[in-house]
Amino acid sequence: MSTSFQQHKTGDLHFLKRLNRSAILELVRRTPGLTRADIASQAQLTKATVGAGVQSLLKQGWLSEGELQKSSGGRPGRSLYLNERHYAMLGAEVGVHGLRLVACTLSGQRLASHHEPLVPTTPEATAELLAGLLRQLMAAPKVADRHCLGVGVALPGPVAPGQPLLRLAPNLGWRDVRFLDLLRPHLPRQDGVWLMDNEANSAAFGELYFRTGTIPDSLVYVSAGTGIGSGMVEGTHPPLISRGLQGLAGEIGHTVLQPGGLYCHCGNRGCAETLVSGWSLRAALGIAEDESLIDALLPRLQDEGVQRTLRRAGEALGTLLLNLHHTQNPSEIVLGGSLVQLGAPLLDPALAYFKANQNRLLGTTQQVPLRVIEDATFIAARGAAAQVLASVIHGPSDLL
Amino acid sequence: MSTSFQQHKTGDLHFLKRLNRSAILELVRRTPGLTRADIASQAQLTKATVGAGVQSLLKQGWLSEGELQKSSGGRPGRSLYLNERHYAMLGAEVGVHGLRLVACTLSGQRLASHHEPLVPTTPEATAELLAGLLRQLMAAPKVADRHCLGVGVALPGPVAPGQPLLRLAPNLGWRDVRFLDLLRPHLPRQDGVWLMDNEANSAAFGELYFRTGTIPDSLVYVSAGTGIGSGMVEGTHPPLISRGLQGLAGEIGHTVLQPGGLYCHCGNRGCAETLVSGWSLRAALGIAEDESLIDALLPRLQDEGVQRTLRRAGEALGTLLLNLHHTQNPSEIVLGGSLVQLGAPLLDPALAYFKANQNRLLGTTQQVPLRVIEDATFIAARGAAAQVLASVIHGPSDLL
DNA sequence: AGGTGTTTGTTCAATCTTTTTACTTAGTGG
DNA sequence: CCACTAAGTAAAAAGATTGAACAAACACCT
C-alpha cells in the first residue's frame, strides 16, 4: 500500500494532541539529545505541553532519557533520545535477483538482515518464501523482544497509488499483483502497518527519513539496476512520496533520450533504458541472463570494448541526472542500485556531465549534492521499514 | 515570493479553529451549494462546530447563504456559496511581449483585466508601468468597492524558493531581480499578501485551485512560448507547488532530448528548447525579433516548409509530454502558452505521439487528461491571484 | 560554605474549542 | 391536523493548551 497520509482537513482536540506529540517525536528523531526546553522553543509550544507530551512518549517506549546536559548557568536539561529498545520495523525488498530483508530500530539501525539470492518465479512462491524469511527475522534474538510496528515491502515496478497493487514488474514478468494479500496468509501476526511501494520510492524515503540534523527539502533516489527508476520525496512532517496518477512517477528509464533510437521492451524507441540499464548492458556485451552482470563485468573493466560501452551508458546516465535536475530540481540526489558497483568507468562520465552542465542556466556555483551509495543492498528494504515508522507516527495508528 | 505554507508542525487551539474554518471554506469553494449538514458529514465535524464556523465566515464576508434545498423528508438545508462580492484578488503576469493583469473574485471570476503590449525593458521601468496599471485596475468600478486580499505576480523565469527573487529571465535579459521590492514603492497600499512566482507555476496552481467538483491529485501546466517551462501542483489543502532547490523544477525546456544536438542559449547541447520553442521556430523560419511570431506564421501555415518545421517541433513537444508522464505522471496535463495558437500543425503531432505511447508501459487504456487552452492570455495572471487567495486561506493571515 | 541568580521541568487553575445532548425550526406525507 | 424526519441552534460537559506559580538543579560570587 502506498503510504498516503490523508491530509487532515479538520481536527478535533484529540487530533491536536496527536499532532503535537508526533511533532515532539519528530524533533527528537531529527536532533537526538534535545531537552524539553529545546523542544519547547523549537516547536513553539509551552513547557507544560512539551512536558506532558514527553512524559507519555516516555511511558509508551518511544523516547528515553539520557544524560544531563552541561549547565549554562541554570538547571541543566535532560537529554532525550529515541528509545532504541522497545520498537522495531521490518522491511523487505523483492529484487530481480534476490530478496533482501532487514529489521531495524526507530533510528534506522540494522538489528538483523538477510539476503536471499533467487531466480525470478511466481508471485505466490516468492511471497511464501519471503514470509518464511520474515518469520526467521522476527525470531532473531535482537528482534523478538521488541514490539514490531509493521512490515514494508519494496517492489521493482510501479505500484498503484492508494492501493496495495503492483501494476507491473517487467523484469520479474509480473503484472497486477496484490503482493500483500499473498504475503498475509503465511504470517502469523496481522497487526501493525502493512505497506508496499516501488523500491526507488522506498529507498528515497528511507534516505530522507532516517537522516538526522538538517535534512534536505527534497531528495531523489536513482536506482540503476536491471532497469532504471527513481523515487522522489518532498517536504517534511511527513515527507511525501510523489507517485503520480498511475504510479508511473519516477519511471525515468522510459523517458526518451534519443528520439527514433533503439527499440525498448516497452515498445517505444529511444528510452533511457536502451542506453543505460542492466539489460541493455547485457545485450551490448553479450552477457547471459543466468550470469551475474556485475561478476561478469568486474574482471573485464579494462577491456576497451567494455570501457567504451560503459562510458556511453554513463553519458546517458549523466543526461538522465541533468534532466531530473531541470524537471524536479531535488535538493539532493542519491545514486544507488547494482550498477553502481561498476564504479568509475560508468560513473565518472555521468558525474562529469552532470557537474559540467548543472549550473549552465543560472550561472551559479551552487552544486546539488550528489551521493553515490557504494553498497545499496539493503537501502530499499530499510526505506520500506522507514515508511512503516512514518505511517505509525503520522498516520491513523493508535500506537502513538 | 513563493507561496510556501510553513508546515505547521504543532498547533494550539487557535490553530485548530483556523484549520476547521479553512476546511469549511475549502469545501464550499470546491462544492458550491453545500449545506451545513453536508459539510459536517464530509469534514467529519459536528453540526455545532460547522454552525459556529459558518456563522463567523458569513459575518466576515467569505460565505453567503443561498436558497433552501429541496427537502428529503425533513427540514431542508440552506445552500452556502462563496461570497463573490466582498473580496477580490489581483494577479499580473510579466511576459516577454507584454503585461497582463486581472482582478478576480474568490471563485476566480474575472472582474476586470488588461493586456498591455510591451517590448522588453529594465525591471525598474517594467515595475513602474505595472504599478500604474495595477492602480488603474484597483480603481475599476467592480474592483474598487471590494476588499483586496493582495497581489500576485507571475514571471517568465525561475524564482528562488522561499524568497521573492527572480533568478533569471533569459528572454527579458533579467537576472536576480527582486521584483516585488521594485513594485512596492509605486503602490499606495502595502497591506495584504504580496507574492511572485514562475508563470508556469502560477498557471498550474490556478488551473487546479479554481476548479470545482472533483479535482485531480496533481496537475502539470506546460507553457509553450518563447521558451518552454512547466509547473506542477500536487495535493490538496493546500495544493503544493514543486519548486525545487533552486527554483529550477519545471525547466523542461532545458532537459536534453538530443544528446550532441544543437547548441542552446544555456550553453548545453540538445536541449528541448532547441527543438521546440518560440525562439527556435524564429531561428528555423527566419522571423525577426520585432515581429510577432504568431502573426507571422498564421498566414503561412500551409507552406510546406512551415508545416515540416512545426511537425518536427510538435514531435519534440510530444516527447517532452511523454517524458513528463514518465517522470511525474500528473493526473492532468494542461497545455498553454502562445505557441498553442499555432494549432493543429504543431499540436497534432505532439498529441498523437503522447497518445500513442503513454500506455505502452502499463498496457492499460486509461488516458491521462490533456487539455489544450486556446486562449492562455490571462491564465498565469489569474493563477497568481489564486495563489494570493490560497495564501490567505492557508497561510498566516489573520483575515480568515 | 552559603546565598543568589539562572535555567529546567512540573503542577494547577484558567481559557478556549470541540463535543454531547437537548431543543427548536421547517418541511413531507398520511 | 398530526406524526415523522432532517437541519440548525443553544446550552452544559469534556478535553487540550496556556499562563503563572513553584520546585529542582547547577554556576557563580562572596
Closest partner residue to A251 among B245, B319, B326, by Cβ? B326
Residue B94 has pLDDT above 90, yes or no: yes
Q: Which positions on chain D have an atom < 7 Å from some protein CB?
A: 4-11, 14-21, 23-28
User: B13-82 has which CATH code?
Assistant: 1.10.10.10
Phi, psi of B120, rounded to the nearest 5 degrees: -50, 140
Contact A68, A144 (CB under 8 A): no
Instruction: List the single protein residue with the shortest CA to C1' distance from C27.
Output: B75
Among A4, A9, A271, the strongest candidate for a mutation testing the B interface, having the largest count of B CBs within 10 A, is A9
Question: How would you write B296-312 as a 3-class SS string?
Answer: HHHHHCCCHHHHHHHHH
CATH of A1-66+79-83, one of 1.10.10.10, 1.20.140.10, 2.40.37.20, 3.20.20.150: 1.10.10.10
Test B319 with A167 for CB contact under 8 angstroms: no
Contact B195, B384 (CB under 8 A): yes
Instruction: Give the residue from B182, B7, B206 showing the smallest Cα distance to A27.
Output: B7
| Of A124-133, B8-17, B99-108, B188-197, minimum mean pLDDT range | B8-17
Q: How confident is the model at residue A7 (pLDDT cuts 50, 70, 90)?
A: very low
Neighbouring C-alpha atoms within 13 Å toward the C-beta of A282: 17
Write down the pLDDT at residue B53: 97
Residue B9 has pLDDT above 80, yes or no: no
| Residues B318-327 pLDDT 10s | 999 999 999 9
Write down the pLDDT at residue A399: 85
User: B87-205+379-394 has which CATH code?
Assistant: 3.30.420.40
| Residues A266-302 pLDDT 10s | 999 999 999 999 999 999 999 998 899 999 999 999 9
The pLDDT of B53-64, averaged and rounded, is 97
Instruction: Give the residue from B112, B127, B103, B272 showing the smallest Cα distance to B196.
Output: B127
Percent of chain B with pLDDT over 90: 91
Test A236 with B362 for CB contact under 8 angstroms: no
Mean confidence (pLDDT) of chain B: 94
| Residues A227-263 pLDDT 10s | 999 999 998 889 999 999 999 999 999 999 999 999 9
The pLDDT of A22-31, averaged and rounded, is 96
Residue B197 has pLDDT above 50, yes or no: yes
What's the burial of B291, exposed, middle or buried (CB within 10 Å: 0-12/13-18/19+)? Answer: exposed
Largest CA distance in chain A: 72
Neighbouring C-alpha atoms within 13 Å toward the C-beta of B43: 33
Contact B249, A327 (CB under 8 A): yes
Closest partner residue to B245 among A19, A217, A256, by Cβ? A217
| Residues A169-205 pLDDT 10s | 999 999 999 999 999 999 988 789 999 999 999 999 9
Among B326, B353, B370, B393, the strongest candidate for a mutation testing the A interface, having the largest count of A CBs within 10 A, is B326
Chain B positions in Cβ-Cβ contact with residue A328 (cut-off 8 Å): 242, 244, 249, 327-328
The pLDDT of A25-54, averaged and rounded, is 96
Q: Which residues are bridge partners to A169 per DSSP? A: A174
Residue A6 has pLDDT above 80, yes or no: no
Write down the pLDDT at residue B3: 42
Write down the pLDDT at residue A400: 84
B133 Cβ partners below 8 Å, 6+ apart? B92, B99, B101, B114, B116
The domains of chain A are located at 1-66+79-83, 87-205+379-394, 212-372
**How far is residue B20's CA from residue B11's CA, in Å, rounded to a whole number?**
12
B388 CA to D10 C1' in angstroms comes to: 37
Instruction: List the single protein residue with the shortest CA to C1' distance from C24.
Output: B75
Contact A333, A370 (CB under 8 A): yes
Fold match, A1-66+79-83 / A212-372: no
Write down the pLDDT at residue B4: 43
Helix (H) or strand (E) segment spanning residue A176: strand A174-177
Mean confidence (pLDDT) of chain A: 94
A76 CA to D26 C1' in angstroms comes to: 7
Write down the pLDDT at residue A71: 85
The pLDDT of B223-240, averaged and rounded, is 94
User: B215-372 has which CATH code?
Assistant: 3.30.420.40
Residue B191 has pLDDT above 50, yes or no: yes
| Residues B221-231 pLDDT 10s | 999 999 999 99
Residue A395 has pLDDT above 80, yes or no: yes
The pLDDT of B143-167, averaged and rounded, is 96
Instruction: Give the residue from B248, B218, B229, B236 showing the smallest Cα distance to B317.
Output: B229
Contact A153, A94 (CB under 8 A): yes
Residue B142 has pLDDT above 90, yes or no: yes
A314-348 as b/e: b if 16+ CB within 10 A = bbbbbbbbbbbbbbbbbbbbbbbbbbbebeebbbe
CATH of A212-372, one of 3.40.50.20, 3.30.420.40, 3.10.20.30, 3.40.50.11540: 3.30.420.40
DSSP string for residues in B189-217: ---SEEEEEEHHHHHHHHHHHT--SS--S
A73 CA to D29 C1' in angstroms comes to: 13
Q: Which residues are bridge partners to B67 per DSSP? A: none
Percent of chain A with pLDDT over 90: 92
| Residues B345-376 pLDDT 10s | 999 999 999 999 999 999 999 999 999 999 99
The pLDDT of B62-77, averaged and rounded, is 92
Write down the H helix ranges in chain B. Answer: 13-30, 36-43, 47-59, 123-139, 141-144, 179-183, 199-209, 278-285, 293-297, 304-327, 344-357, 379-394
Percent of chain A with pLDDT over 70: 98
Test B325 with A248 for CB contact under 8 angstroms: yes
A398 CA to C18 C1' in angstroms comes to: 20
Write down the pLDDT at residue A1: 44
Name the residue with higher pLDDT: B5 or A151: A151
Task: For residue A340, give the 3-state DSSP assignment.
Answer: helix
**How far is residue A320's CA from residue A200's CA, in Å, rounded to a whole number?**
15
Residue B49 has pLDDT above 70, yes or no: yes
Instruction: List the single protein residue with the shortest CA to C1' distance from D18.
Output: A46
**How far is residue A128's CA from residue A119's CA, in Å, rounded to a whole number?**
14
Cell (9 digits) for A270: 529511444
**How far is residue B279's CA from residue A335's CA, in Å, rounded to a whole number?**
35
Distance from CA of A236 to the nearest CA of B (A): 8
Distance from CA of residue B168 to its chain's centroid? 19
Write down the pLDDT at residue A72: 83
Contact B255, B268 (CB under 8 A): no
A391 CA to C7 C1' in angstroms comes to: 36
In residues, how long is chain A? 400
Q: Which residues are bridge partners to B195 per DSSP? A: B152
Radius of gyration of chain B, Cα coordinates, nearest whole angstrom: 22
Measure Cα distances from A265 to A55, A310, A319, B191 in Å.
Answer: 56, 20, 21, 58
A337 Cβ partners below 8 Å, 6+ apart? A222, A223, A224, A225, A228, A376
Write down the pLDDT at residue A197: 98
Residue A82 has pLDDT above 90, yes or no: yes
The pLDDT of B174-195, averaged and rounded, is 94
Write down the pLDDT at residue B8: 41
Four-point Cα dihedral B135, B140, B144, B146, nearest 10? -110
**How far is residue B304's CA from residue A140's CA, in Å, rounded to a whole number?**
73
Instruction: Give the residue from B329, B17, B2 showing the smallest Cα distance to A167.
Output: B329
Q: How confident is the model at residue B237 (pLDDT cuts 50, 70, 90)?
A: confident
What's the burial of A234, exposed, middle or buried (CB within 10 Å: 0-12/13-18/19+)? Answer: buried
Distance from CA of B144 to the nearest CA of A (A): 34
- Cell numbers 487567495 correspond to B389
